[in-house]
Every structure is written in structure tokens, then in C-alpha cells.
Amino acid sequence: MMNQNGVGQDRLHPLAAEQWGEEEYAAFGALLGMPGEKVPRAGSGHTHDPMKFDVIGLLVRHPDLARAFLAFNGFLIQRGELPSRLRELAIMRVIHRHRSAYEWGQHVRMASENGVFAEDIDKLAQGNAGFKGSDRVVLEFTDELLANGHAQWDAWQRLVETVGERQAMELIFVVGSYVLAAMAFETWRLPASPGAAQLP
């Protein structure tokens, strides 16, 4: 049973297809990099049909917030300078630490497209011992952010020397963005997609 605010007995539900309007399409368009009128319609079956993305259906319950967050997240993921493998390793460490089952399943599915393979995922759940070079520096920096809410100056300098200043700046915002997402999705009890990889 679900009330008009989308709150069921145990979780917040994504918008139904008939609830999508101009504002919601514009918000999703911020992530896709296109105007709202060009976003595939809910229920169309298109690759970017909003109904295929439960997380989008939740975020657009607040279209203005969703537009701003998705534009920011879209920049980090699609136009940022941090190499995709390093970004994905950091994201998966955040997801694992914050126990976000939905996000874990999604990122395991996308990992190989970003240079993170099954053996990397297995090692990620065990800590940092199996990583070296820039992978290790990024993961240790991510761990420090998660543990303390900030990193020490020497850790920052080591990261900048390894990946460059702009990429190092982006890493902090990637970590923060996915901590925020994990907090939201776990509060709203967004379930893992059917058949998705289980959170170790």
C-alpha cells in the first residue's frame, strides 16, 4: 500500500509513469545532457526510459533538487578529469563502507566499462593490500575521508603528486557525492535490482 507521497509501508517508491511531467523530464535531462523535451518518455521502453532507473524515479520526486544534483554528478562521471578506473574504485569503496546494496549492484554491473574487473572487486571488499600505485593512493585517501571527514595535508600532497591537482579535487567531491547518495538511498530503502550482484 502506498500513499500519495509515495511512501509505502516500508520504503519510498519511485514515481509511476503517469506522474512524470515537464519538470521531472528536465531533471533527468540534466544527467543525460539534453533538454527535457528530448528525454525518452516514461514507459517508452527506450534505453533511457526513466522507468528503468528506480534511483531517478526517486530523485525526481523533488525535481529542482534532482536537476542540480544530477548535473553535478553528471559532471563528475561524464566530464571530470579523474581517470574512470580510479573514480570507480573510490565509488565502490564508499558504497561498500556505507552498505548500499542498490548502488553496489549497479556499480558492479558497470565496473568493467570503467576498467575495474572481477578480481579488483574481490580485492576491494578485503581492504587495500591487493592494490598498488595510484589505485592504492586513491583508496587510502578515500578511506581517510570516510574515517575522518577530511584528509591530512600529507595525504593530500601524495594524492596530488599521483593524479594531479584537478583530479585530486574531483576525488573529494566524488567521495562526498556518493556518501550523500548512499545516505539517501539507504534511508529510502531502495532495494537492489533483481539479479544484481550482492553486497559482500
Tell me, yes or no, whether 12 lies in a domain.
no
Is 183 in the same domain as 149? yes
Report pLDDT for 5: 54
Q: Which of the listed residues 52, 77, 102 is the one where a domain comes to its end?
A: 77
Is 88 in the same domain as 173? yes
Q: Is the pLDDT of residue 118 over 80?
A: yes
Tell me, yes or no, whether 71 lies in a domain.
yes
Given a contact cutoff of 8 angstroms between Cβ atoms, the answer to whether 89 and 176 are in contact is no
Least confident of 6-10, 60-64, 187-191: 6-10
Q: What percent of the chain has pLDDT over 70?
A: 96
Is 87 in the same domain as 148? yes
Q: How many angstroms separate the first and last alpha carbons of the chain?
A: 31
Q: Strand, helix or coil at 75? A: helix
Q: Is the pLDDT of residue 145 over 70?
A: yes
Q: Which of the listed residues 34, 50, 77 is the one where a domain comes to its end?
A: 77
Q: How far is CA 40 from the centre of its chain?
A: 21
Is 89 in the same domain as 182? yes
Tell me, yes or no, whether 5 lies in a domain.
no
Structurally, how many domains does the chain consist of? 2
Average pLDDT along the chain: 92
Give the structural domain span for 35.
17-77
Is 103 in the same domain as 168? yes
Angstrom distance (rounded) from CA 156 to CA 171: 11
Q: What is the CATH number of the domain that holds 118?
A: 1.20.1290.10
Is 162 in the same domain as 112? yes
Is 48 in the same domain as 111? no
Would the CA dihedral through 156, 164, 136, 104 be positive or negative? positive
Tell me, yes or no, whether 62 lies in a domain.
yes
Report pLDDT for 194: 85
Report pLDDT for 4: 52
Query: Could you read off the pLDDT of 54-98 as tens digits, one per residue?
Result: 999 999 999 999 999 999 998 999 899 999 999 999 999 999 999
Is 118 in the same domain as 44? no
Report pLDDT for 6: 54
Is 110 in the same domain as 153? yes
Is 166 in the same domain as 87? yes
Is 144 in the same domain as 95? yes
Report pLDDT for 1: 40
| pLDDT class of 199 with cuts at 50, 70, 90 | confident
Residues 6 or more apart whose Cβ sits within 8 Å of residue 22: 36
Tell me, yes or no, whether 4 lies in a domain.
no
Is 87 in the same domain as 49? no
Tell me, yes or no, whether 87 lies in a domain.
yes
Report pLDDT for 153: 98
Q: Which of the listed residues 26, 60, 77 is the one where a domain comes to its end?
A: 77
